[in-house]
Structure 1
Amino acid sequence: MKIYSKRILLLLIDIVLINLAIYIALIFRFDGLIPEHYVRVLANSFIYITLIELVAFYFFGLYKSLWSYASIDELIQVFFAAATGSIGAFVYGTIAGVRLPRTVYAMSWILIFLFIGGIRISGRLVKRVQIFGRNNELSTKKVMIIGAGKAGSMVIKELKDHQELNLIPSVVLDDDFKKHNSSIHGVAVRGGRDKIVPLAKEYGIDEIIVAVPSAQKSEMSDILRICKETKCKLKKLPGVYEIINENVSIKSIRDVNIEDLLGRDEVNLDIKAISSYIKNEVVLVTGGGGSIGSELCRQIARFHPKQLIILDIYENNAYDLQQELRRSFKDKLNMEVIIASVRDKVRLEQIFDEYRPGVVFHAAAHKHVPLMENNPAEAVKNNIKGTLNAAQCADKYKSKKFVLISTDKAVNPTNIMGATKRIAEMIIQAMDKQSHTEFAAVRFGNVLGSNGSVIPLFKKQIETGGPVTVTHPEITRYFMTIPEASRLVIQAGAMAKGGEIFILDMGESVKILDLAKDLIKLSGFEPDTEIKIEFTGLRPGEKLYEELLLAEEGVASTRHKNIFIGKPLEIDFKELIGKIKELEECIDDVLKIRDCLGRIVLNYEYRNDEAAVTK
């Protein structure tokens, strides 16, 4: 009822203002001395003129808009509504013989526009005054906007419209010097990114919103690295598609995360090549509920497989992914979720026999280095035996492609997890020599935000006030995002001809200490003063740095700039299976397991803490 009451009140105000405008126009036309004839004409026709104007207002939507958010678009509506109404009144007066002077219609048009537009914009002006009055209150936060384009303009408008957020846009920065010394919605554009730090101090900025959705991720990373030196809370607008769809709102703005600082540009996919081997194919993803496995499933679903089989031993993750994909794809995705272990050969045989997958992505694995050092038998069972089981089933049931998800820790391994994953790679290369299935592996480094990785650990430590623990001040790792890694895995699958180990371009390695400092700053704290960083020492089996390539593998480029191929090595399948059987026989003895692993992976050497430091 409240909204209808407001519209009725607005209607009554419009009736008064329309007639007031016409009367004032007559006064202007006759210098205050209105002839009696025109007074009678107005008295006989004002009801009809008013109705004509109101009908025009209705058709132009003047009673549907939310005038508390009125902008130039709404004023344009009023302008054309007033023009249409005045023209209609003129036509009516001419036909009915009750026409006022032409200049009266022209002046009344302008006056109606000013009166009606003014009353509608007044609500927004009141809000502006309220915002201005709150600028000095302690509860308000001053905001710097990076980007003076369309996105930045929309962000400023949204902030001014949502006064309940207590965010006051105070200054705008943009690298385009042509925009300097101008203003957007009353907010000054003061310079480029080189002014971020000094202007943040000058204005006492609390938050910075980066509104440059068209920027490449490398450029975005550069901007964010400057911003984080200000100690302000950082937020950003998502991708350019939001701007294309004109869907910018307060909800679009999100906190800056560590992935943004990594600055890795979006992966371009060969859609045609990927579609050719996934579309209308039954695709099985083992470990489908994990970090990489689940993202593989999300990406694969976009390419219209005949059926997507998600296999995982952990039911909770698999269930969550199932619900997510159902919401996203509804009945467009034929999906089956299977709870099973790759260790169980009999169960795998049943699954392959029933579903006959044409493409297999093998992501099931134990991946945590310290846990596997303490539980080597489990790593052998899952990473070696599980891979062998899945690979043999793919061969027996004539899958077309089998892609193993591997790790940089398989290169010159110094830990159980890395050694078992290297043997998994060897199984794939050996199987390819005697199978019609195209076997390949994809090797890459750490993925940001994956389950149990360093980023979630750091975040939890920061939330509890620290300290943040880093094993060594010089330790480095390769990083990429989960979506990036998954897309490149799928792309590598399209290139696989059999026996390759694809190596993803991980960019430059990142110091874990720098990563910890960046994350602390993004959380609004100062490293070592507000949140302490402690060094705990390298853990057993841990290297200072990881490698992506064995010395004997060499490397060749592919048609995709982010994917390289390590030269396939000659591995005798029967000899390998014999050594794996020996390994299984000593699975209950930790020392013997390490010896057996060393006989299979000749460059595996268990490192204690001191040796790891020198590696």
Structure 2
Amino acid sequence: MMAWRDRLGAGLPRLAIVAHDLVMVWFCWVGLHVLRYSFAANPPQLSLWSTEIAIVLAAQGLVFWQAGLYRGLWRFASVPDLWNIVKASVIGLVAIMLGLFIYNRMGQVPRAVLVAYPFALVGLLGTPRLLYRAWKDSSSERSGRGSVRTLILGAGEAGDALVRDLRRSGAYQPVGFLDDAAKLRGSKLHGVPVLGAIDDVVEIAKETSAKLLVIAMPAIDAGEMQRVVAACERTGLPFRTVPRIEDVLVGRSLPGELKEVAIEDLLGRKPVLPDWKAIRSWLGGRSVLVTGAGGSIGSELCRQCARHGAQRIALLEIDELALMTMEAELRRDFPNLECVAVLGDCGDPAVIEHALALAEPDALFHAAAYKQVPLLEAQLREAIRNNVLATETVAAACRDAGVGTFVLISTDKAVDPGNVLGASKRLAEMVCQAMAVRRSTHYVTVRFGNVLDSAGSVVPLFREQIRAGGPVTVTDAEVTRYFMTIPEACQLILQAAAIGSHEAIYTLDMGEPVPIRLLAEQMIRLAGKQPGKDVAIIYTGLRPGEKLHETLFHADERYRQTAHPKILQAEARSVVAEQVLATLQNMREASARYDQQALSSALRQAVPEFMPVDEAAEPAAATIVRFPARDIRRI
């Protein structure tokens, strides 16, 4: 029986549906004639078949086919399908009148039949479709009576679509909506009532015996999401959310998917939306090369470049598994993309020259770097070799090969650096400035804060600690960091490259820094546990090289807005190219000897603002740079 119903709704032969509709047309035409002449004293003899009826069926059938009436499924019949039937009926009437006029000047057709025909036909065609859908929906409800009772937060378009998806799956039973719009109170969507406001979720969840909460408000900002999540947490019930439309469009989520609330949904600001038109205009049809293409940032850069029109992408990666994985993903998802994979160390001149010769890139994104602060404090030689000397090798090769744009991925730790990572990245920025003396290549630096869920970052560490039952380790109760998502960081990189200023340093206006303590507490709650009760938080003290707070700009860097309202450009501090290049030569010699003392001395001399946190107390004031609106100039 179930199989028969499924064939009727989805797999029913199209000819059977066409036959049904033509029978309805015949019934409508003949029935209207019978009704019309039933009031006449001497009604004419009506035939059940005639040339006139054949013309009516042929004309109306052709209109049905051209109107696309048979491309939809009865199982999902809705208002757009009904509107399509209305249009087909009206246009069909015109076609019938034209055909009958040619045949017999419409001498035998009562005008009352012509007037009533489209209305009657809409009812005869629309009613079976809507009744069948109602039958299928009620069948789904009956079959899902043992399913999860679900309370939906948000009675907008997302909630409307969610009810249909939940009923179709049969695994969930919607029992009510919650929405803050007072005008919706007491109304129903698809028979599901709006029971109250979101703040009433604790009481209503108990009254409805709900077992699951679903947040169907994909467009709300992070502050509002925090309020909604806090309300859900008070119930003690599991909760899920529907994905944002942009996540569906780029393939990060599936339509109708119920996913856990991610920590990025609770960031204290709205995600920055890039100017995709400018990015596509700059990127479209170009060849790009990405170093560190298998890493968190490099891999997402490759995806976004492919998604927004790059013709060729060269992947340069030292990790063979990461390179294989990324190349396979790009070839699978973008079959028309020319993909070039190069295995090797970008700091090797032969490797980077080989990659540039293969790719002939218009732009190079230098994402390869070491970034773990505590580790690099004891690995000075490798930090300088990979973050500084490799940057010089790649930047010089781009200059010699005539690459149009070189983009250095930097960090907010390069501002007033208090650790080896920050100092090495600041020196890498100075290398790019020194290279920019010759203007054949545009050297662009992009700084951003901590990237959520990147390899080795705090979020996956906290997630693993929570999964293990704790404790969650936070270095200091007062420590704060700027955060952004991986896609957002890569969008900033592409946007900065598209702006294309020479010798520029860009950063994102990232709002307020996030206390790591609050981040840990929110992640524990999102896991369905209580901080301090189910999972302990312990404070371990700042690790080597770590600061309490990070800054986005140096005090001597004048900043201004760009064409994008959330991207700021710093006016780079001047450097003496000869001194930078001389320092690099000394560092290469010291690196070859593995002389870390000489490397440390050269680094401090080259980056005079480098003040290791274990040698000086961090200033209590001026730890966070604010951006007064009156001081920002637009370019």
TM-score, normalization by structure 1:
0.78
Tell whether the 8 Å contact from 1:377 to 1:587 is kept in structure 2 after alignment: yes
Residues of 2 paired with 1:398 and 1:123: CA distance?
66
Which deviates more, 308-317 or 199-208? 199-208
**1:448 pairs with 2:457:** no
| Cα deviation code 1:294-314 (max 9, x no counterpart) | 333334446655743321212
**1:370 alignment partner in structure 2:** 374
The reply to whether residue 309 of structure 1 matches residue 317 of structure 2 is no
- 1:565 is matched with 570
Q: Aligned to 2:575, what secondary structure does the other structure show?
A: coil
Distance 1:47 1:11, change over 3 A: farther
Which residue in the other structure is 1:383 paired with? 387
1:172-251 → structure 2 map (5 Å cutoff):
172-173=178-179, 175=181, 178-189=183-194, 203-205=208-210, 206-212=212-218, 215=219, 219-229=220-230, 230-231=232-233, 232-239=238-245, 250-251=255-256
SS at 1:330 equivalent? coil
> Which residue number in structure 2 is paired with residue 146 of structure 1?
154
Contact 1:142-1:167 at 8 Å conserved across structures: yes
1:511 aligns with 2:515: yes
Letter in 2 for 1:207: L
Residue 399 of structure 2: aligned partner: 395
Residue 434 of structure 2, aligned match among 418, 424, 430 = 430
SS at match of 2:293: coil
Cα–Cα, structure 1 residues 350 and 99, in superposed 2: closer, same or farther, change >3 Å? Answer: closer
**Per the alignment, do residues 501 and 272 of structure 1 end up closer, same or farther by CA in structure 2, a change over 3 Å counting?**
closer
Q: Relative to structure 2, which stretch is displaced further, 183-192 or 369-378?
A: 183-192
Larger CA deviation: 256-265 vs 224-233: 256-265
1:268 paired residue number: 274
The residue type equivalent to 1:146 in the other structure is G
Q: In the aligned structure 2, how far is the partner of 1:356 from the partner of 1:557?
A: 33
Matching residue of 1:290: 295
Amino acid at match of 2:156: A
Q: 2:607 aligns with which of 601, 604, 612?
A: 601
User: 1:488·1:563 contact (CA, 8 Å) conserved in 2?
Assistant: no
Work out the CA distance in 2 between the residues paired with 1:267 and 1:87. 50
Of 328, 331, 334 in structure 2, the residue corresponding to residue 326 of structure 1 is 331
2:630 is matched with: none
Q: Deviations over 1:490-531 (max 9, x none)?
A: 333355554443333222111122222323333444433344
Cα distance in 1 for residues equivalent to 2:161 and 2:498: 41
1:308-348 Cα shifts (integer Å, max 9, x gaps): 332121233333333333345433x4442211212212333
Cα distance in 2 for residues equivalent to 1:531 and 1:238:
30
**How many Å separate the matches in 2 of 1:221 and 1:606?**
35
Cα 1:417/1:234, change in 2 over 3 Å: same
Kindly state the Cα deviation for residue 423 of structure 1 after the two structures are TM-superposed: 2.1
Give 1:221's aligned amino acid: A
In structure 2, C-alpha distance between the alignment counterparts of 1:102 and 1:354, rounded to whole Å: 76
| 8 Å Cα contact 1:53/1:82 also seen in 2 | no
The residue that corresponds to 1:361 in the other structure is 365
Identity %, equivalent residues: 31
Q: 1:97-123 deviations in whole A, cap 9, x for unaligned?
A: 998998799889877766665544343
Unaligned ranges ≥5, structure 2: 624-635
Aligned to 1:338: 342
Equivalent position amino acid for 1:269 in 2: D
Alpha-carbon contact 1:172-1:187 (below 8 Å) kept: no
Deviation (angstroms), 1:479: 0.9
Q: For residue 580 of structure 1, what is the aligned residue in structure 2?
A: 587
Q: Distance in 2 between matches of 1:477 and 1:80?
A: 58
1:69 maps to 2:69 = no
Residue 559 of structure 2 aligns with which residue? 556
Q: 3-state SS of the aligned residue for 2:408?
A: strand
CA distance in 1, matches of 2:118, 2:13: 27
48-57 or 119-128, which deviates more: 48-57
Query: In structure 1, what is the Cα distance between the partners aligned to 2:348 and 2:500?
Result: 27
Deviation at 1:445, TM superposition (A): 0.9
Q: Does 1:417 align with 2:408?
A: no
Residue 280 of structure 1, CA deviation: 6.2
CA distance in 1 between counterparts of 2:607 and 2:538 reads 35
Asked whether the equivalents of residues 14 and 116 of structure 1 are also in contact (C-alpha less than 8 Å), the reply is: no
Asked if 1 retains the 8 angstrom alpha-carbon contact of 2:313 and 2:359, the reply is: no
Correspondence for 2:629: none
Cα separation, 2, equivalents of 1:517 and 1:413: 28
Q: Please list, as runs of the form range in 1=range in 2, the aligned pairs for 1:16-95 lying within 5 A after superposition.
A: 41=45, 45=49, 56=60, 60=64, 65-75=72-82
Between the aligned partners of 1:395 and 1:101, the Cα distance in structure 2 is 85
Assess, with a 3 A threshold, how the Cα gap between structure 1 residues 225 and 574 changes in structure 2: closer, same or farther. closer
CA contact (8 A) 2:85 2:126 kept: yes
Residue 567 to residue 193, structure 1, CA distance change in 2 (3 Å):
farther
Aligned twin of 2:633: none
Q: CA deviation at 1:478?
A: 0.7
What letter is aligned with 1:148?
G
Q: Distance in 2 between matches of 1:143 and 1:249?
A: 21
Shift of the 8–275 alpha-carbon distance from structure 1 to 2, 3 Å rule, reads closer
Is 1:159 the counterpart of 2:160? The answer is no
Indicate the residue corresponding to 2:135 in structure 1.
126
C-alpha contact 1:15 1:50 (8 A) present in aligned 2: no
| Matches of 2:224 and 2:310, distance apart in 1 | 40
Distance 1:596 1:236 in 2: 53
For residue 477 of structure 1, report the CA deviation from its aligned partner.
Answer: 0.9
Of residues 159, 168, 172 in structure 1, which corresponds to 2:174? 168
Give, as a single letter, the amino acid of the residue that structure 2 aligns with 1:472: D
Contact 1:174–1:189 at 8 Å: present in 2 too? no
Closer, same or farther: CA 283–208 of 1 in aligned 2, 3 Å: same
Query: Residue 403 of structure 1 contacts residue 441 of structure 1 at CA under 8 Å; is this kept in 2?
Result: yes
* Equivalent position amino acid for 1:157 in 2: R
In the alignment, is the contact (CA less than 8 A) between 2:274 and 2:495 conserved in 1?
A: no
Quote the offset at 1:465 in angstroms: 4.2
Number of aligned pairs? 594
Greater shift in the superposed pair: 278-287 or 79-88: 79-88
The one-letter amino acid of 1:556's match is: Y
Instruction: Determine the C-alpha separation between the residues in 1 that align with 2:402 and 2:115.
Output: 83
Query: Counterpart amino acid of 2:275?
Result: L
The alpha-carbon deviation at position 421 of structure 1 amounts to 1.6
Q: Name the SS of the counterpart of 1:501 in structure 2.
A: strand
